[in-house]
Amino acid sequence: MIITSTRIKVQMIRHLKLVITTVIGFTVIAIGVAMLVLPGPGLVVIGLGLLILSAEFVWAKRALDRMKDGAKNIRDRWLS
């Protein structure tokens, strides 16, 4: 009985962490998208949202890596 109760608590905590991370990450991305047309660092905020989501999702990690590669390419073109 105690093992099952502990296992359920651990699963609930994991699920809660996933939900909280997802809500915060997508909220930050939505704010970043709004900042693309409003004053503010929209791309930086979108990157922050992807960073938050990459803690739980592989697709977000891949998107963040693509964003970093794009920023490096722009930096290299600008400096050369």
Which pTM does this prediction carry?
Answer: 0.81
The per-residue pLDDT for range 20-79, each reduced to its tens digit, is 999 999 999 999 999 999 999 999 999 999 999 999 999 999 999 999 999 999 988 988
Question: How many Cα atoms are found within 13 Å in the side-chain-facing hemisphere of 1?
Answer: 0
Residue 11 CA to residue 16 CA, distance in Å, equals: 9
2 pLDDT more than 80: no
How many distinct structural domains can be found in the chain?
Answer: 1
The more confidently predicted of residues 1 and 79 is: 79
Which range marks the domain in which residue 57 is found?
A: 2-79
Q: Supply the pLDDT for residue 3.
A: 62
